[in-house]
Amino acid sequence: MEWAQPVIDERDLARTYDGGAYADPWTAVLDYQVVMRYASHHPDNGSYAISTALDIPRSRVRPWTENKSKPDPVRGIETARDYGWLAATYHDTEFTILNTLVATIFSGGSIDAERYQP
């Protein structure tokens, strides 16, 4: 194990989510990125034109382009990036904090102080 390597990468994090219509949640992330990149280069195209051009079902494209929704794995990656978790290495304070949180949850069962049950 390389100590300078990040603790987790985007692909691994995405795969902790339920993929819904996708067998692999990482594919949802890739599709979302492709759709949003295409939409930014073709701002006059609607969801039908985008879905046809990219061969992605319109039922997936429409919420992303018209409602600004995102697949759960994308939202999770963005949150992790905002907190610096994707850049954390085994020597960083962020790793120690996350590791302590996970250990507490697994050993204690909850982080909810009102309903804590060992």
**In this prediction, what percent of the chain has a pLDDT beyond 90?**
56
Question: What are the distances in angstroms from CA 109 to CA 49, 101, 113?
Answer: 48, 11, 11
The SS3 assignment for 89 reads strand
Cite the DSSP H helix spans in 55-115.
58-66, 72-82, 93-108
Rounded CA-CA distance 10/17 in Å is 12
pLDDT at 25 over 70: yes
pLDDT 10s digits, 44-94: 999 999 999 999 999 999 999 999 999 999 999 999 888 877 877 777 787
Residues 6+ apart with CB under 8 A from 75: none
Query: Which pLDDT value is given to residue 56?
Result: 96
Residues 6+ apart with CB under 8 A from 71: 17, 20, 25, 28, 29, 32
